[in-house]
A and B are shown apart, each in its own frame.
Chain A
């Protein structure tokens, strides 16, 4: 079964219920926090900005009682991409790069500036992944979906399809593990009946044909699921945006202060990141 590898150890929607005050916040506040931590990382190519977001994420994970190791677990599967980006930045010369040459091997010259940029890019990506893992570890799936709807609610008045968007995100994301499980079941079923993926045959076309019996059922079943889902929704009289919710979110006492300070932190972090390079 080594011919097809399933990346199982990802932090996809890994919610960790520690019943902390952070978990109890409303989804809008959590989204604000995500933005406040992520925007400084996205906006700036500077160590102070990244360090500030890192420190803030660390503080929040302490308050949420989420172990830091849990947040960094998602970094492992991304290491090939991190290495690839770092190598690209070191291999190619930057225009106007007058920094000290550290190493030169043939056409490749490694300079101090390239190493600094490569380290910076990796640090930003790791910080971003940690921030996103923190968000998913304190936010349930339902909160993620309703949060999108609530967050865009002001725009819904001018015709933005906030409800449809929230529904699409919830629907798609909920089916990811189901489809992954189904794919794995089909692979196992066919392998146990002598199906052979990737071992024999040569040339792209012939190899592609060998995989067709695997993906035809996966796609057909996904579309059948869509039909069943719609039947289920319609038999429960689903009628779009004006339905009521099973779960509602109430702001805790003083949460407005949390929102304000989170927004202030985001603005300050972005400012620090842009101002102090």
Chain B
């Protein structure tokens, strides 16, 4: 009855692309911040931590591909290639190296929540470096303004998401080893 591992991982990556898309539609209000958090990057972190660098990367690519093809899966229900070139496109492109880094860091040693949190934190640094850098360039602003607009408002929400992702990943990981059996190389 066991489904073969060769197809389960791609299918899991597709399901994660769907989870990420759903995440773009859910807004959770935060009592301590005026900006509601959107869960899309929460699921990207989870994809990296649970699927590892390779298939987390595929899940993110499929998600970005859905958006690029015009399906409304980006935050706020928009889509389209234009978003990659807009002022906020850096965040989208930053996910790609970030997910690989998080996948590698998360797969080192035994799954522990604090380890996942550190991996996710490193990934977020990559995303924001790309996002804020692009924002600065697109708006021709100085670093102070770019940081004030593109980083500071998101810090509380992102810390919450990282904590949640680390907790969820550490609880889910032991349960899914039966589904995603490691096929030798890496996680």
Contacts and interface: CB of A to CB of B under 8 A. Distances in A.
Interface string A155-192: 00000000011001101111110111001000000000
B179 to A, nearest CB: 5
B122 interface: no
A190 B52 CA distance: 30
Given A88-B87, A211-B164, A215-B168, A183 B22 contact: yes
Nearest to A232: B3
Interface residues of B, number: 68
Nearest to B18: A175
A223 B15 contact: yes
A116 interface: no
A219 interface: yes
Contacts, number: 204
A176 B62 CA distance: 13
A230 B8 contact: yes
B143 interface: no
Nearest to A212: B167
Nearest to A94: B140
A23 interface: no
Interface string A84-98: 010011001011000
Interface in A74-129: 74, 77-78, 80-81, 85, 88-89, 92, 94-95, 124-125, 128-129
Interface in B150-176: 156, 159-161, 163-164, 167-168, 171-172, 175-176
Interface string A35-51: 00010011000000000
B50 interface: yes
A132 B80 contact: yes
A205 B113 CA distance: 12
A231 interface: yes
Interface residues of A, number: 73
Nearest to B47: A219
A198 to B, nearest CB: 7
Which label, helix, strand, loop or mixed, suits the secondary structure of the A interface?
helix
Given A172-B14, A172-B66, A42 B7 contact: no
Given A42-B82, A148-B69, A172 B160 contact: no
B10 A168 contact: yes
A60 interface: no
Contact of A38 (B36, B46, B70, B78): B70
Interface in B85-123: 85-88
A193 to B, nearest CB: 19
A223 B179 contact: yes
A10 B77 contact: yes
B41 interface: no
Contacts of A148: 69
Contact of A219 (B26, B30, B172): B172
A83 to B, nearest CB: 11
A229 B75 contact: no
Interface stretch (A1-9, A63-71, A258-266): A1-9
Contact of A220 (B28, B65, B164, B172): B172
B8 A227 contact: yes
B176 A220 contact: yes
9 contacts: A11-B77, A74-B77, A80-B76, A129-B78, A129-B80, A207-B30, A211-B28, A218-B19, A222-B16
Which 6 A-B pairs give the minimum distances between C-beta atoms?
Answer: A208-B164, A175-B18, A208-B163, A204-B160, A172-B17, A226-B11
